[in-house]
Structure 1
């Protein structure tokens, strides 16, 4: 079939036969598709009152950076720090973890280039590695590896810089150098150099990255002294402590006990199995990314159990889908696209994953849930990291049905997960391709 004049006339007549199309056309021309489609009734369904809540700190702001996964992880961890230090609120340095993430990702990338020297330059794997070697995004397990190796520090110890809050130019500079280094390593290998020779060159290349990072983000502390006043207005001082010691003493997590659950209802990923993603990581020597694919009711049961025990939950989703950002509402019925555009999307969650319509884009923290009289979730309370202007002073309300459709990952202590699902960790881990949708990184701004 071709588009000819006769077909166009049919389309025009069909459009004009529905008079409401003229009103919708005017509305969309004035305010755009999204605002013209907003269902005002969505606000009635979200009172921002929840039956069960955890403690949380003051709302944070990742600004013009894709560090949401770091903010979510540190905002989850800080609740334990607040309790141990008797603080009303507390904030970790996201600049400190950003520094190590960039350096470790650079090392991971260069190692991956050395592991793929025999691949053709136009192969899909090389194209994937070169696409975004040092972007801001990440997943929970990638951050766990950094916490294990580098610990964490209070924000005052390594405060924000221009480039920690505005990462675009820094990422461009790092990416340009890393692609140049990849070219140099591959071309030197083709002249007969050994991999051992190339690894020696890689050390000098990493220094170039380190040099840029120190200039953009500042020097990282090896030890520090932290002074503060607690909730009782008592002055406190913690002297000469390392970041690793601070995390161990004032967070105290056993990171091996924290397990990632995902929900990927696609045919290629059976439930009850553990998965990893090839060439996805930050700290090269850390444990590979590993998560268990479970049905949504299992994922939500673990999240509810953690919240009811006072422990917030790291949470990854596709935040842009059917959400009202300025009001902080995530609801599957936020917009009447079926009425304004003539047909609403009918894709299932599995189809959205398979056909590139949805994937994990953003990480936040589940800090509450509103349960009905039978214990079933109605809405979830979500702590975001976009400052206080988005949502209700930084808090979002998410319908349970929205969570079913657009939630992809949580991280909780394994004590909240039934043993029948944990046994997947004792079985061989299934490796997914680097471009699998479950390898997507949370990095929404």
Structure 2
């Protein structure tokens, strides 16, 4: 080993730049030393298609990006139809409450389904690692809305725990793991299904209480009162959440489908996929993905934007991005050049070797088309106005190709052959497949 170390030192000393780079990186860090000014200068926030979507929301210290992004696409629709003020929001706390309650029930069902397996089994270990969390997928928010509807933020505002979720999540996961112990013991004793259901109902009653104390109890009926952007007064009385969704959003959610780009060998394009044990509402909408190449992926997003409708999308936001400046560009940091090492991996390799997966959901609200081809995209984030350009980011088309994994579009924008593929039974992927990651 000493002989090897001598060779390493000698190799370093032969590099004339090594002392300069050592001083630079030790003082400034890797990213500041590797940043490419020229890449940053190309990310001007100007777009040929630029939707007016109002103010940016703020998920604060919670992992609800998928929920914020979905509700943001819907509030864009409400803004266009009803001229609500630019700071109007749908209640993220309302859908959060129901998602937590449903995820607990979904967890119990999976615990019972795997009760005959040892705790060392990978599926059981995967379940117990995170019984529930803030993250989710598009089809999961659809399940919540189809069952419970949506309400304006005025009907169920944020609370301490919805905006800063770690305390509640750690407490709730403690309870769910303890409940799993009890459920597995009852299953091992061959307890009847009737008694298991009765016990599960007791647990869910406790969960409802915990959620009500932490997030407030969701309204059954409410009034929607507002002044529109022209200061005209409106009052809509005695609404339910399902009434509100039908009247103010009005989408057929079954028309909106998840399109992914997962270029790994186990997922041929033009086929449907789902993920085992992934969901929230028992017997709710199944998580389903149509895998396509990047050209199709981009084109369907562009078609929806051209029709004036924003696009929910999922990506690996932390890769090659500057959070504060709101820039996502593959050439932003030249880390390989800085260290003179090859750091290039294909998108498929990054997925297969745990270097990347979907970590965050946002909304596409614009795109810059040059000669019909996209060069950069406008992104509405949910981290408030203090990051990016008043909360909006710029994403290069190259970055989309490498680090975007999912868009949600109306199926009418798909080619006819892919609309047919939507009807096929999906291949079931393992629970830990990267396409099952929660934004």
Question: What is the TM-score normalised by the length of structure 1?
Answer: 0.97
Aligned partner of residue 361 in structure 2, secondary structure? strand
Aligned partner of residue 89 in structure 2, secondary structure? coil
TM-aligned CA deviation for residue 51 of structure 1:
0.3
Gaps of 5+ in 2: none
TM-aligned CA deviation for residue 425 of structure 1:
1.7
Aligned equivalents of 2:394, 2:272: Cα separation in 1: 30
TM-aligned CA deviation for residue 232 of structure 1:
1.8
Does residue 9 (structure 1) correspond to residue 1 (structure 2)? The answer is: no
Does residue 407 (structure 1) correspond to residue 407 (structure 2)? The answer is: no
TM-aligned CA deviation for residue 315 of structure 1:
0.5
Aligned partner of residue 425 in structure 2, secondary structure? coil
Q: Please tell me whether the aligned partners of residues 51 and 370 of structure 1 are also in contact (alpha carbons under 8 angstroms).
A: yes
Gaps of 5+ in 1: none
Aligned partner of residue 326 in structure 1, secondary structure? coil
Aligned equivalents of 2:240, 2:198: Cα separation in 1: 30
Deviates more, 1:256-265 or 1:82-91: 82-91
User: Alignment partner for residue 183 of structure 2, among 166, 182, 185?
Assistant: 185
User: Alignment partner for residue 126 of structure 2, among 115, 125, 128?
Assistant: 128
Aligned equivalents of 1:27, 1:207: Cα separation in 2: 58
User: Alignment partner for residue 37 of structure 1, among 31, 34, 39?
Assistant: 34
Equivalent residues in 2 for 1:262-411, closer than 5 Å: 262-372=260-370, 374-411=371-408
Cα distance per residue 1:114-151 (max 9 Å; x no partner): 11111111100001111111110011111111111111
Does residue 119 (structure 1) correspond to residue 117 (structure 2)? The answer is: yes
Q: Please tell me whether the aligned partners of residues 85 and 227 of structure 2 are also in contact (alpha carbons under 8 angstroms).
A: no
TM-aligned CA deviation for residue 26 of structure 1:
1.5
TM-aligned CA deviation for residue 34 of structure 1:
1.4
Aligned partner of residue 422 in structure 2, secondary structure? helix
Aligned equivalents of 1:20, 1:240: Cα separation in 2: 72
TM-aligned CA deviation for residue 192 of structure 1:
3.3
Equivalent residues in 2 for 1:171-210, closer than 5 Å: 171-210=169-208
Q: How many residues align?
A: 438
Query: Which residue is 1:440 aligned to?
Result: 437
Aligned equivalents of 2:99, 2:307: Cα separation in 1: 31
Aligned equivalents of 1:388, 1:19: Cα separation in 2: 45
Aligned equivalents of 2:419, 2:267: Cα separation in 1: 16
Q: Please tell me whether the aligned partners of residues 116 and 188 of structure 2 are also in contact (alpha carbons under 8 angstroms).
A: no
Equivalent residues in 2 for 1:145-224, closer than 5 Å: 145-224=143-222
Does residue 144 (structure 1) correspond to residue 112 (structure 2)? The answer is: no
* RMSD of aligned residue pairs (Cα, Å): 1.0
- The list of structure 1 runs, each at least 4 consecutive aligned residues, that deviate by more than 4 angstroms after superposition, is none
Cα distance per residue 1:363-408 (max 9 Å; x no partner): 0000000000x20000000000011111111010000011000000
Question: What is the TM-score normalised by the length of structure 2?
Answer: 0.98
